[in-house]
């Protein structure tokens, strides 16, 4: 089941890449690098969340970090 979701995600990412890559001009090297990096990071994040959906979100991490600070400031 998870393998199918991962393969589906990879197909969608490939379609996004094939659609957007020709639209970026050849002279825009930095834009191409940023596009590949962001698409890769998004793909990795999607696969990690498919494989382990119980990972804490960013708000839970911020809450974990700042909750003790909030308690200290209340006193």
Q: Does the pTM of the predicted model rise above 0.85? A: no
Model pLDDT for residues 45-74, shown as the tens digit of each residue: 999 999 998 888 889 889 988 998 888 887
Q: Assess contact for 35 and 20: CB atoms under 8 A.
A: yes
Average pLDDT, the chain: 92
Residue 38 has pLDDT above 90, yes or no: yes
Output the six-digit token pair for 63: 């809450």
| Nearest partner of 44 among 8, 3, 6, judged by Cα | 6
């Amino acid at each position: 089941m998870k393998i199918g979701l991962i393969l589906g995600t990879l197909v969608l990412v490939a379609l996004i890449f094939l659609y957007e890559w020709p639209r970026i001009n050849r002279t825009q090297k930095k834009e191409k690098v940023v596009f590949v990096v962001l698409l890769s990071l998004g793909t990795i994040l999607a696969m990690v969340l498919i494989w382990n959906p119980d990972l804490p979100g960013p708000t839970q991490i911020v809450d974990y970090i700042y909750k003790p600070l909030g308690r200290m400031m209340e006193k």
